[in-house]
Chain A
Amino acid sequence: MNQYYHSIRFDQERCEGRMRCLRVCPTQAIRVRKGKARMIEERCIDCGECINVCPNGAIIPLTDPFGELSRFRYTIAVPSPALYAQFGREILPAKILAGLKKLGFDEAVDLANTCGEVSFAIQEFLRNYNGARPLISNACPTVVRLIQVKYPDLIDHIIPIDTPREIAAREIKRKKSKQLEIPEKDIGTFYITPCPVKMISIKQPAEKGRSHLDGALSIADVYGPLLSAMESLEETEPERRALESICILGIGWAVVGGMSRTLRLRNSIAVSALAELIKVFDDIEKGKIRNIDFIEAYSCTHGCVGGSLTVENTYSSYNKIIKLIETLEYEKIKACPDIRDVRRRYEQKYYFIEGQLEPRPLAPLDEDIGKAIQKKKQKEAIYEKLPQIDCGACGSPSCQAFAEDLIQGEVELADCVFLWPQKITALAKEIIELVEKTGCRRGQAEISSAKNKKEEEA
């Protein structure tokens, strides 16, 4: 079963079993055994919450180092609009893209423009859509994985339009391969990512065999070198020209709400932060959310600007994007892709995901429902004996999880510290009984003298 690739690694040397990760994991994918954290691979949705709370830095996001670029003859940077959000109005996208080229990429692609295209494509899709509502955005790979694992029945709600990063990478590879007359495999496309989860969507896409991206560099790793690269750049473009190259529809994709504001829907909602998503998905499942056509969903607070591999403060970068949009509106700059082109490509299925998204529900208590019912009863009986305060000291995230781990044979009842006094009492009784039964005189004498002593003290 352990065939899942994850963008998170637990460093066993650094881990001191401090349990913080155990408590924040939304899918209860972490256990601490023998003082070290370990991951249950099929449960992990790569949200990265654990990375942020580990006091030892023992949970390491896996992104690519700069060295990966040398594997390719021609390299292209595909930065998330969240990179623009690090700088806002002070340094405009045109300069950031130029800076990336100076860092060693042969080319840097503006993803905001593709985001704008995809906004149009989603509009087209929604126009004639008659299936399950609300549709849920797929730009955040954690959202897709959360649905696959915890809400498998909502899988049909995920929009089948591919993400801008995949579409952009596919397009530029084709174009450059033709132009330079080199095979596509010699062209490396690298996403500049605000979070580790994009790395898995590249290494192990949820729906298709292979991603069009070849790797991901984190914004955190790129930020410093990029700043110095941009410092030495000469200002070639006037500000107005730089502003005019920003797609007003796409730039907002860096923040929550940015996507749905471009869709002109009657009823849509934008949700960010994992705990909020879980509430919303629970409500969809029971039919509580009605008359909503589209849900824009991000696992990080405020959207991609809240990613764990960003540098700027989440709220500052959110504000920077909003101000950039306001500037474009004020200056009446409406640069965006040609909708006729998008419609033509849409008809040719250009924007649709390749492959089929399948659910991967968590393993039930047992594959056989009769046995699962029995195990559930056992689990409830065990749970009744537990303190039910979810302290986590046993290494399982909650008393419920402990009860489940117990019936699956992974822990012992004695691993619960709250049951120790009972256990010691029981053990003491056993010893006394044993001593009395075997008739060991010396033992009996010692027990009675201990009893007398206790009575005297009392």
Chain B
Amino acid sequence: MTNLPANGRESCFVESFPIQGGDFHHAGHVSTQIKEILKELGIEPAVVRRAAIAAYEAEMNVVMYARHGTFILEVTPGEVNFWVEDEGEGIPDIELAMQEGYSTATPEMREMGFGAGMGLPNIKKNADRFEITSEVGKGTLLRITIFLNQKKVR
């Protein structure tokens, strides 16, 4: 949490959410809550939409491949940051994982509509800044930033 760009500053809002790996039933709740917070803060609809998609993909990544994880949301007047850290199997080849269509999803996950290999690329597409670090056998850390237009909502 200490590496969050603006952590501790007066002007930022931070909230942390736990994610349980393998809990498909509650999957998506964290991104729904995050979306509600962003709307409450008056963030532009188009930005909320991109953030919601990126948050959902990041959350699902933890649900599908990790034991548990933490999703930290940080909002500053200039940007939205997600810090998604998990304890899990990790990603051996990040470059490969970032390719569209590449997936290690199980048949069960595919049955549920996941595993099209679009998760990480989809995050990248919707984020303004996206960093991924991973250690095999330990876990993965995603750092996602979306810039806020200073345009007023209404």
Contacts and interface: CB of A to CB of B under 8 A. Distances in A.
A287 B122 contact: yes
B39 interface: yes
A290 B57 CA distance: 13
B62 interface: no
Nearest to B50: A153
Contacts of B75: 373
Interface in A334-389: 359-367, 369-370, 372-374, 376-377, 380
A286 interface: yes
A286 B35 contact: yes
Nearest to A366: B42
Interface stretch (B101-109, B128-136, B146-154): B146-154
A364 B153 contact: yes
A288 interface: yes
Interface of B: 11-13, 15, 28, 31-32, 35, 37, 39-43, 45-46, 48-49, 52-53, 55-57, 75-77, 113, 122, 148, 152-154
Contact of B32 (A155, A286, A380): A286
Given A287-B52, A359-B45, A373 B77 contact: yes
4 smallest beta-carbon distances between A and B, as pairs: A364-B42, A153-B45, A286-B56, A153-B49
Nearest to A369: B77
Nearest to A372: B41
A171 interface: no
A131 to B, nearest CB: 14
A369 B148 contact: yes
27 contacts: A152-B45, A153-B46, A153-B49, A155-B45, A282-B32, A282-B35, A285-B52, A286-B31, A286-B52, A286-B53, A286-B56, A287-B57, A287-B122, A364-B39, A364-B43, A364-B153, A366-B42, A369-B41, A369-B77, A369-B148, A373-B41, A373-B76, A373-B77, A376-B13, A376-B40, A376-B41, A377-B13
A283 B28 CA distance: 8
Contacts of B15: 380
A369 B49 CA distance: 17
Contacts of A155: 45
Given A286-B31, A286-B55, A287-B53, A376 B37 contact: yes
Contact size range, A: 20 to 34
B39 A373 contact: no
Given A364-B39, A372-B41, A373-B77, A288 B49 contact: no
Contacts of A380: 15
Given A285-B35, A286-B31, A286-B32, A367 B52 contact: no
Interface string A59-98: 0000000000000000000000000000000000000000
A155 to B, nearest CB: 8
Given A152-B45, A367-B152, A373-B75, A362 B31 contact: no
Contacts of A366: 42
A356 B49 CA distance: 21
Contacts of B56: 286-288
Contact of A361 (B13, B35, B39): B39
Contacts of B48: 153, 285
Contacts of B37: 376
A285 B28 contact: no
A359 B13 CA distance: 26
Interface in A123-166: 152-153, 155
